[in-house]
Amino acid sequence: MIDTTVFQNKTAVYYTLGCKLNFSETSTIGKILREAGVRTARKGEKADICVVNTCSVTEMADKKCRQAIHRLVKQHPGAFVVVTGCYAQLKPGDVAKIDGVDVVLGAEQKGELLQYLGDLQKHEKGEAITTTTKDIRSFSPSCSRGDRTRFFLKVQDGCDYFCSYCTIPFARGRSRNGTIASMVEQAGQAAAEGGKEIVLTGVNIGDFGKTTGESFFDLVKALDQVEGIERYRISSIEPNLLTDEIIEFVSHSRSFMPHFHIPLQSGCDEVLQLMRRRYDTALFASKVKKIKEVMPDAFIGVDVIVGTRGETPEYFEQAYQFIDGLDVTQLHVFSYSERPGTQALKIEYVVSPEEKHQRSQRLLALSDQKTQAFYARHIGQTMPVLMEKSKAGAPMHGFTENYIRVEVESDDSLDNQVINVRLGEFNEEMTALKGTILI
């Protein structure tokens, strides 16, 4: 039993880098600390505890993590500093040496953060507490409200795929998950707390069921029946795990939105083989085609990596032409970053930083074209929009079921309400449609 008297009336700040899963886990850490008596520090207030949840997907992510730690140590002198997340698991010794860091927690320890805080006395030097990748076994549940109206439900963690460019399996361990029953219970609790939309998060969520003998499709069907939750979104799912039965179910389900995020990574089969991906372009194209057949207005986001080792100019051009021909809505473009210990480092052909930048810019421009064309097709339509509270002086915004961002005149009484909106022209930034509320 942990004595929580030391935490009473203490304050904490939280800083998260990386993916939706990290943000969900940070929110859960915050909830654990609040229940122990720690409140979130107000703006400008010096905190007693700093928690940094790190990312390590690229070299730049590592750099941002170090910068964030240095900044928080400076802003909150004397605070007890805890660093966790992927960078902490992969480079615990390096993180522990950063001035001001007290405890570094690996993936296995993250969910039990409270027991590593002691009496909050600063350490003379940082202490790293981690578990080797092969021994990461625990699944720490997380269903937490984000900064907006939606909740994030962690359904799965870890990955068994070991793609040649990726360190995530080393940072998060093997694929594992909670039970469908526990997920349904957490979704029900979110509904009781006023949640109307839940985003399903994880590292490789289509792999759900490895540790419980269940399946992602079974999870989707069970969650669809939870009363009070009006919308679910699937954050990201591998194309080889996005089955036709899942697509068909979403097309007629009560609450799963016509919104998919599918990592492609490259539109060239030779590069996909170098990446050790588990599909080819033909399979990917068939998934997009299937979605559009049963949900013509579905939003489809796609991850693409440019400049990976082995991506010759000819291979990139093949990839560009393939992506150009896909009926998708938006590209999330990443420049390849070399990660220590990955198999990709054995590939001889290296793309220069300048060429990576040029390729990235071409794909970003293509993405803008596709997104704006998708939005433009919906101008004049009336669609239900789940509204989100706006920042002071900014228009209120929300999203349609198929994830079109809509701006309306600010009215806080509409926060977390689903309202019918007639979609108008683009805003000045060409990133949203202006809407008229229909009473």
Name the residue range of residue 60's domain. 3-130
Q: Which two tokens stand for residue 35?
A: 């229940």
Domain-embedded: residue 135 = no
Q: What is the pLDDT of residue 390?
A: 78
Are 387 and 367 members of one domain? no
Q: Which residue has the tokens 């939870």?
A: 226
**What residue ranges of the chain have pLDDT lower than 50?**
none
Give me the CATH number covering residue 35: 3.40.50
Residues 403 and 357 in one domain: no
Count of domains observed in the chain: 3
Q: Are residues 359 and 404 in the same domain?
A: no
Looking at the structure, do residues 367 and 329 belong to the same domain, yes or no? yes
Considering the domain architecture, whether residues 168 and 100 belong to the same structural domain is answered as no
**pLDDT tens digits, 401-426:** 999 999 999 888 898 899 999 999 99
**What is the structure's pLDDT at 147?**
61
Q: What pLDDT is attached to residue 189?
A: 94
* Domain of residue 198, CATH code: 3.80.30.20
